[in-house]
Structure 1
Amino acid sequence: MRKEFEVESHKLANSIDDARKRSILLFVSYITGSVMLVYGILHLFNHNHLLLLILFGCSAVFYGNVLFYHLTRRLNEACEFESILVGTFVLALVYQGGHENTALYWVFPFPAILFGLLGVRKALVMNIILLILLSVMLYVPGFIEAQYADAEKSRFLVSLSLVIIVSLINDFFRERSHMAMSQVQQSREKQANTDVLTRLVNRRFITVSLPKYLNQNPENFLPLAVIMCDLDHFKKLNDSYGHECGDLALKHVAQLFLDHLRQQDIACRSGGEEFLFLLPLCGVMDALHVAEKIRAALVETEFSYQGQPIPLTASFGVSLCKVSNGLDEAIKVADLKMYEAKQAGRNCVR
């Protein structure tokens, strides 16, 4: 379960980047589609059929792609197809030359757009392919319909290369910054939800972070067994041996708990010598068995301080959470049962 929370945190961090890609996709689709449509209408009667085909065709396909996104919400597929459209449009425009041979001037925004849509690696590959194809188109005699001056060709390719390099540098460090900030955020969240001494999750995780996941994905948790655990006579241990011994005892039992729980289970230090275990997709009988197994292991596993063996026992209370908004009540029930175990003589499960 801890891995699932890390995955959810990573998804949350990536949502900002998805919003950026979505904004670029919508902007490029609507603006490019509209500009091509307007230019197509303006040149409707100039009898340049290839130019009209490029303008109206690109407009229709850009609008079609954004419609595909709105209907399916498949952002990555829409961005990849948009990138293919951009590359095709650039090649077709340079091939035909555009109005009054101005096609080369329209190419410069598109390398940055590709980086925005695809990310650094894919965009770099596509930009390099486009640069190679454009070089071939410009310098192989008779390859394209348009005619460009030699000086214009060389200056265009150098300028386009510079735009690609600058876009690469910008997006490379933007991605690095995004990853670093995501890691910092995850680290802060982990620190805020982790008990410093035992490295178990703390009460904040149970009261603040867990309910969100429980409400979003109840099928991954319910029924959720709840076990409250309180170390017996822990104040006496601190008074007799000192707080250093008490801290070592807490670390000892925390590791023992982890050794006897499943990977998907959660062990929490809820305060002082109290611990809380959450067992997803687990019934009451299985939870009672787990609590008894931990109780017995605590008795049988030796703990010593400065060479002196110190017996450790604990009292347990078990309850069951059946609905996503019932965790607080289940914890209260488990807490009451734990106190019943204390009153029954300690070192037992209720």
Structure 2
Amino acid sequence: MQSSLRLDTGKHARKIDATRRIYILSFVSYIAGAVMVLFGFMSWDANALLLPTILFGGGSLFFANILYFQLTKQLDSACQIEAVLVAIFVLALIYHGGHNNTALYWAFPFPAILFGLLGVRKALLSNAILMVLLIVLLLQPDALLADYKEAEVSRFLVSMLIVIVVCWINDHFRERSHEAMSALQKSKDMEANTDPLTLLVNRRYIEANFAQQLHNYPQHYFPLGVVMCDIDHFKLFNDQYGHDVGDEVLKTVADIFRSHLRPQDIACRNGGEEFLLLLPQTDLEQSKSVAEKIRAIMANQPFMFGSIEAPITASFGVTVCQEQSHFQAAIKAADQQLYRAKAAGRNQVH
């Protein structure tokens, strides 16, 4: 159960992060692309086509990349392509100088865009590479079409470095904050879905989380073995030895489930001395075999606590669920089989 809760929480966090990246990708592609095309028209000059070419080309490639994402839904690839396009556009614009040598001013938003598209680690590396390329480019003024003043270049490079560092600090601690919040949410989910005595999942988990998993990933679960288990004469055991000893019996039974079920199987404390076992991709005969194995282990393993040594037996009702819509009906059917096992003398599988 713990692993499935972590999986659900992790998927939710990744979904939120993917949505954030999609918004950034869309903004850069649509808005920045449209601005580039607009400025391309405004800077059109038949005698100087390089700047319009840079602007039209950059905008067109951004539009092409968002179309690629819409067609393929490959978010990681689209973000990486966008980051490369951003870097090439910045370098080309600064090489040219832009309108009236204003290109340096337009470069400042792009470090933040790279962090939004790539995440902290990849963006830090990408910005570092871009920064090195800018330094190499700007420290060779004879190789540029632009005519930047020396003081302007030095101030730009220092300012750009500050922007990158501030973006890194912001995204680094945002990521750490999200991880802390995610861990807290996992802890709350675990607490809400776990029986505090046996540390097995509780009925809330079955009714909410597991039912949703059946709906989302039926291929991972069906046929689903459904086993109801009830400890025989547990009330008499409690009356004879006390509730503290009864609690130890429940813990012992839970340990047996953990030790002898598969990792993908789920053991749930359904209430009192009753347990629900869910066995993914298990047919009826296999489910009965598992229940019989657990029954035999419990019957042949006397409960020992201090000076107390007493046998523990349990009755089992087994059925199989074939689809999500029949899940609750399958639980009721297993419960009916459990009552038949009790009526037939207990310590049996029906």
Residues of 1 paired with 2:301 and 2:256: CA distance? 9
How far off its partner does 1:42 sit?
Answer: 1.1
How far off its partner does 1:4 sit?
Answer: 4.7
| Partner in structure 2 of residue 221 of structure 1 | 221
| Partner in structure 1 of residue 48 of structure 2 | 48
Residue 145 (structure 2) pairs with residue 131 (structure 1): no
How far off its partner does 1:2 sit?
Answer: 5.4
Map 1:1-350; keep pairs closer than 5 Å.
Answer: 3-45=3-45, 47-350=47-350
Q: Please tell me the residue identity of whatever aligns with 2:233.
A: H
Q: Deviations over 1:1-30 (max 9, x none)?
A: 753553233111211111111111101111
Q: Deviations over 1:49-87 (max 9, x none)?
A: 111110111011011011111111111111111100110
Residues of 2 paired with 1:15 and 1:348: CA distance? 46
Residues of 2 paired with 1:59 and 1:82: CA distance? 11
- What's the secondary structure of 1:142's corresponding residue? helix
8 Å Cα contact 2:5-2:189 kept in structure 1: no
Residues of 2 paired with 1:201 and 1:282: CA distance? 20
How far off its partner does 1:47 sit?
Answer: 2.3
Residues of 2 paired with 1:172 and 1:258: CA distance? 39
Q: Please tell me the residue identity of whatever aligns with 2:167.
A: S
Q: Please tell me the residue identity of whatever aligns with 2:101.
A: N
Residues of 2 paired with 1:34 and 1:304: CA distance? 76
Residues of 1 paired with 2:301 and 2:242: CA distance? 21
Deviates more, 1:197-206 or 1:185-194: 185-194
Normalised to the residue count of structure 2, the TM-score between the two structures is: 0.98
8 Å Cα contact 1:2-1:264 kept in structure 2: no
Residues of 2 paired with 1:124 and 1:13: CA distance? 22
Residues of 2 paired with 1:106 and 1:303: CA distance? 75
Q: Deviations over 1:105-139 (max 9, x none)?
A: 00001111110111111111111111111111111
Residues of 2 paired with 1:72 and 1:97: CA distance? 35
8 Å Cα contact 1:317-1:334 kept in structure 2: yes
How far off its partner does 1:41 sit?
Answer: 0.8
Residues of 1 paired with 2:260 and 2:190: CA distance? 23
Q: Deviations over 1:27-52 (max 9, x none)?
A: 11111111111111112235211111
How far off its partner does 1:143 sit?
Answer: 2.0
Q: Which structure 1 residue ranges, 5 or more long, are not aligned?
A: none
Q: Please tell me the residue identity of whatever aligns with 2:121.
A: R
> Which of structure 1's runs of 4+ aligned residues deviate more than 3 A?
1-5
How far off its partner does 1:302 sit?
Answer: 2.3
| Aligned Cα root-mean-square deviation (Å) | 1.2
Q: Deviations over 1:302-323 (max 9, x none)?
A: 2122212011111110011011
Residues of 2 paired with 1:176 and 1:332: CA distance? 45
Normalised to the residue count of structure 1, the TM-score between the two structures is: 0.98
User: Percent of aligned pairs with the same residue?
Assistant: 53
Q: Please tell me the residue identity of whatever aligns with 1:338.
A: L
Q: Please tell me the residue identity of whatever aligns with 1:25.
A: L
Residues of 1 paired with 2:25 and 2:214: CA distance? 34
